[in-house]
Structure 1
């Protein structure tokens, strides 16, 4: 009987130990499973971030490429250098140039200066086939007086001081031709007394005119459509 009791006690003790061991192991498994879930979620988030990053990088690359293509074929955003276009444009202004714009009298154009690397903004005064003369600050196109509103105040001030704002000249005095040849344009700066333009470097080929200046975009407080 005593041996049986001892056996029963041993079995009970073993059972209790087994239960205690099981109870102790369960929390560890639960903790491990929770950690695994958390790690899996973290890995998933990292993967999602990587995907988003590469998607944004790809979108940025495509956008940059498209902007580059557009700037090559459709528009340009040059910065004004020098003072030839004062008072209309000043040094440091940034303008929007439409490379598909139509060339018309008094339009501002962005042009490759003949014989130089420089590209600058000037104003179209004469078109192919036109006869141009300046006399006593009066522009005549094909014999008709044309008003230059964009420099009216400067002309008035200059005349009050006994000076011409635009020195007398004609197409004949510049080219020894009676009219502007085909494919050529007469370009002047608005700052006539100091501008370097067709009076110095001659008429400009159409192929050297990059585009039409349609607006000043910077500085923002001077934003203006032309």
Structure 2
């Protein structure tokens, strides 16, 4: 007696391909919604750290720390901004002669070094002197809020203009740039 192997039906074979694809799409969707997302940088406000049309990945689950770069819903237009967190809840912030002070502690902004040198050579400050209270009317960053600045202070709409950013408006923390492959 001859033994014949039964061929799987075309429907079963098709489903063996469809289910893994559906599962992969669902996993990708869930990751993008709740864990990570790609974002395209718009404008010059974060130069020289990030440039117009750079593409970055944000983490939606990372805890926001001082000096993190975040993406958030803009408070003044229907768009998203990318800025650096300078003041955390309870902090005081001021800038004196291109030196940043948070809670009266001096911080060196290494990401600003090239800009500051360029402006100092011309005899002007890269960032105008300010105290957070002069700008926002608040002495300290309120609970649930952040004070943010763009790295390109001469071309950045940031907390100096529109005040604090709500924690609830933060989409995520930038974790890395994936395009272009080379740095500018």
Partner of 2:181: 220
Cα deviation, 1:119-173, whole Å, max 9, x if unaligned, reads 1211001111011100111101111111000111110111111121111111101
Q: Secondary structure at the match of 1:61?
A: helix
TM-aligned CA deviation for residue 89 of structure 1: 0.4
| Structure 2 match to 1:176 | 137
- The gaps in structure 2 that reach 5 residues or longer are none
Query: Within 2, Cα distance between the matches of 1:157 and 1:176?
Result: 31
SS of 2:153's partner is coil
What TM-score, normalized to structure 1? 0.74
> Of 154, 161, 164, which residue of structure 1 is paired with 2:115?
154
Partner SS state of residue 128, structure 1: coil
The gaps in structure 1 that reach 5 residues or longer are: 1-40
Aligned-CA RMSD value: 2.0
Return the alpha-carbon distance in structure 1 between the equivalents of residues 175 and 26 of structure 2: 24
**In the alignment, does 2:113 pair up with 1:138?**
no
Map 1:45-84 → 2, pairs under 5 A: 47=9, 51-84=12-45
- Deviation string, structure 1 residues 163-215 (Cα, Å, up to 9, x no partner): 21111111101121211111110111111001111111111011111111111
Structure 1 residues 132, 62: closer, same or farther in 2, change over 3 A?
A: same
- Whole-angstrom distance in 2 between the partners of 1:208 and 1:98: 14
Moved over 6 A (4+): none
Q: 1:56 to 1:221 in 2, by over 3 A?
A: farther
- The answer to which structure has the higher helix fraction is 1
Does structure 1 retain, via aligned residues, the 8 Å contact 2:136–2:160? no
| Structure number with higher strand proportion | 2
| In the alignment, structure 1 residue 119 sits paired with structure 2 residue 119 | no
Larger radius of gyration, structure 1 or 2?
Answer: 1
Q: Which has the higher contact order (CA 8 A, sep 6+)?
A: 2
Number of aligned positions between the proteins: 180
